[in-house]
Structure 1
Amino acid sequence: MIELGPLVLMRPWWLAALPVLALATVLALRRADGLGAWRQVVDAELFAVLRRLGHVIEARPDPRPRWLGGAAALLSFGLAGPATRNADAPAFRNLDAVMILLDLSPSITEGGSLGAAQAAVSRVIDRHGTRPVALAVFASESFLVSVPVEDPEPLQSAIAVLDAGTMPVAGSRPDRALAMARDALRDAAAERPDVVLVSDGGAVGPEAQAIARDMAADGIRLSAVFVAPGAPPYGAPPPDRAALAALVAVGGGRLVEAGDTAALEALLQDRTGAGLAETARRTLLFEDHGRLLVALAFAAMLPLFRRRKAP
């Protein structure tokens, strides 16, 4: 699924047919100018001379390749599943939610890597599919920014305004953020949930590992995005990538770098689109306009089947 502003392509692989259709249409047009058969049996230079002398009666170009090419392109786009979000869609509760925990401790906000952390969170949200996503931020305390929602726009807006003054407290307690995520997902009875910790790994210790072990026992997978601060402020816990790696090993997830776009996009892809829940949810969350385009494509082909008059 690909999002293009308000428009969503639910089956974008059908667009791969467009270049082939364009090439086939161009080749057909070159042979459908009404003189294609003569061009095959008459030398090109001789044909040009005959045309210059007025001995060639220009035939009417065959419009069928244009009709067929346009209809096929419309059919391809319709099969790609252009859709818009259904404003009247029901709200889901017990589905495979994703909870993102964003580190806003001083080592991130004052260390010059807040922008990288925001970009990483935004990328993960862009690739979440139709899974509901929740967002929480933490320093020495944790705060829930948004409950799980299917529409990414409110989350993207919230991420964009985060800064060094967002948190009312300093410090860094990722274990408290993990505990909040565990309790929230337990209460929601979420199906196959994911937690993504976006942090520099500072202050990740035995407490966080114990909570990650509890989460894994509950079926909650924990992954992490490592954000390396450029210049950690004085007194802040140093970045610790190894601690994050050990944490996700316990939590059953993966560790990726904040600057690795491909890895960020693939972080949750193994669960995105899996199972019947995803298919049913797409049907309810989106209005698929592809059926209308497919119908128009077949309507555009109707003139190609009209009976020709006998000469």
Structure 2
Amino acid sequence: MNWDVTLLRPLWLLALPVLAGFGWWLYRRQGGVGGWERATRPELLRAMAALGRIESRREVLPLVATLGAAALAVLALAGPAIERRDAVSFRNLDGVVYVLDASPSVTEDPRWDELVTMGRFGIASLGSRPAGMVVFAGDAYVATDMTADHVQLGQTLSLIGPETVPDPGTRPERGLDLAAGMLAEAEVIAGDVILFTDGAGLGQDSLKMAERIAGQGARLSVVAVGAATAAMETHVALGGGALMSRDVPDGLSDWLSQNARDRLEQQSYPLLFWRDFGRVLLVLALVPMLLLFRRQAT
């Protein structure tokens, strides 16, 4: 452990000169008679002191105790801390990418709103996992990069419509290719790719992408817009995921929550933590305060 002390809030040290000046002022005032020293003749004051009518003895210990406690409190507020580089940091290696067929045959389907609701249920079950979104038709585009802002992701999903992707056609392999690239770029090794499709365009090219996704340690699942097809079942079998239907609205959220494979990996670099000893100094400040409660001899 590094024992170099750092002040987290050093501006509090500016109070120390003020405290020292105030202490000196109290010391000068202590034991005197205030403004009478300027208004009374010195010989009269000496006479009153000889009769014991003026207390000229200065009590230094209570003043030192008070100022010492105040100084320790100021140092505590300054936040003396020791750097800790032995703290372990983790990051989540499980991510999810939605791949949505945004062609008019899907987005204009009367059941599209049900799929959006199903997708939002799935987003709500992600927990701490980051997620992204890809849309495709004749070409594919990243709608949302990998993010932990699930509210934004859900809003993006709700905005997808027939005009989102202008390219005509249905090329799911391009969407899956982008999803695999997103997982690789985010260094996700236990992710899920969720393909929303009516089955159009699924073929040998998309099967190769399903194999690539599985090779990265991720799973490919399919949410069927209509009836499940043999091509969907083949992709799911190769991708190691699940085939889900809009008839079971909770199917996706259950899959993402119950079958989540959150993995934590210790980072190759340590995070920077500080151990603040300010509270310890506050406890020590109570020690000089005890001197103020000592019994006076009579």
1:186 aligned residue: 184
- Select the residue among 127, 130, 145 that pairs with 2:128: 130
- Select the residue among 137, 143, 165 that pairs with 2:163: 165
Query: Does structure 2 conserve the Cα–Cα contact (< 8 Å) formed by 1:196 and 1:225?
Result: yes
Query: Does structure 2 conserve the Cα–Cα contact (< 8 Å) formed by 1:120 and 1:259?
Result: no
The separation in 1 between residues aligned to 2:249 and 2:107, in whole angstroms, is 21
The separation in 2 between residues aligned to 1:272 and 1:104, in whole angstroms, is 26
Report sequence identity in percent: 32
Tell me: CA distance 1:192–1:273, structure 2 relative to 1, closer, same or farther (3 Å): closer
Query: Does structure 1 conserve the Cα–Cα contact (< 8 Å) formed by 2:93 and 2:262?
Result: no
Size of the aligned set, in residue pairs, is: 179
**2:240 maps to amino acid:** G
2:231 aligned residue: 243
Report deviation, 1:257.
0.4
Of the structure 1 ranges 177-186 and 104-113, higher mean CA displacement relative to structure 2 is found in 104-113
**1:248 maps to amino acid:** V
Output one character per residue of 1:191-224: Cα deviation in whole Å (capped at 9) or x when no partner: 3111000111111011111111121112121111
**1:183 maps to amino acid:** G
Query: Does structure 1 conserve the Cα–Cα contact (< 8 Å) formed by 2:123 and 2:253?
Result: no
Report deviation, 1:269.
2.1
Matched, 1:253 2:251: no
Output one character per residue of 1:142-196: Cα deviation in whole Å (capped at 9) or x when no partner: 1111111112111111122222222211210001111111122122221311100
Report deviation, 1:113.
2.9
Any idea what SS the aligned residue of 1:144 has? strand
Query: Does structure 2 conserve the Cα–Cα contact (< 8 Å) formed by 1:198 and 1:227?
Result: yes
The separation in 2 between residues aligned to 1:161 and 1:152, in whole angstroms, is 14
Query: TM-score when scaled to structure 1?
Result: 0.53
The separation in 1 between residues aligned to 2:196 and 2:96, in whole angstroms, is 13
The separation in 1 between residues aligned to 2:122 and 2:224, in whole angstroms, is 13
2:254 aligned residue: 266
Output one character per residue of 1:28-55: Cα deviation in whole Å (capped at 9) or x when no partner: xxxxxxxxxxxxxxxxxxxxxxxxxxxx
Query: Does structure 2 conserve the Cα–Cα contact (< 8 Å) formed by 1:141 and 1:177?
Result: yes
Report deviation, 1:265.
1.9
The separation in 1 between residues aligned to 2:168 and 2:93, in whole angstroms, is 33
Query: Does structure 2 conserve the Cα–Cα contact (< 8 Å) formed by 1:93 and 1:190?
Result: no
Matched, 1:107 2:105: yes
Any idea what SS the aligned residue of 2:257 has? coil
Provide structure 1 residue ranges, at least 5 long, that are not aligned to the other structure: 1-91, 229-238, 278-311
1:281 aligned residue: none
Any idea what SS the aligned residue of 1:255 has? strand
Any idea what SS the aligned residue of 1:171 has? coil
The separation in 2 between residues aligned to 1:119 and 1:262, in whole angstroms, is 10
- Select the residue among 131, 147, 150 that pairs with 1:149: 147
Any idea what SS the aligned residue of 2:250 has? helix
Q: How does 1:36-185 map to 2 (within 5 A)?
A: 95-185=93-183
Query: Does structure 2 conserve the Cα–Cα contact (< 8 Å) formed by 1:93 and 1:188?
Result: no
Query: Does structure 2 conserve the Cα–Cα contact (< 8 Å) formed by 1:109 and 1:164?
Result: yes
Provide structure 2 residue ranges, at least 5 long, that are not aligned to the other structure: 1-89, 266-298
Any idea what SS the aligned residue of 1:167 has? coil
Query: Does structure 1 conserve the Cα–Cα contact (< 8 Å) formed by 2:189 and 2:216?
Result: no
**2:201 maps to amino acid:** A
Query: Does structure 2 conserve the Cα–Cα contact (< 8 Å) formed by 1:136 and 1:145?
Result: yes
Tell me: CA distance 1:225–1:94, structure 2 relative to 1, closer, same or farther (3 Å): same
Any idea what SS the aligned residue of 1:156 has? helix
Any idea what SS the aligned residue of 1:195 has? strand
**1:178 maps to amino acid:** L
Query: TM-score when scaled to structure 2?
Result: 0.55
The separation in 2 between residues aligned to 1:207 and 1:240, in whole angstroms, is 19
Query: Does structure 2 conserve the Cα–Cα contact (< 8 Å) formed by 1:200 and 1:226?
Result: yes
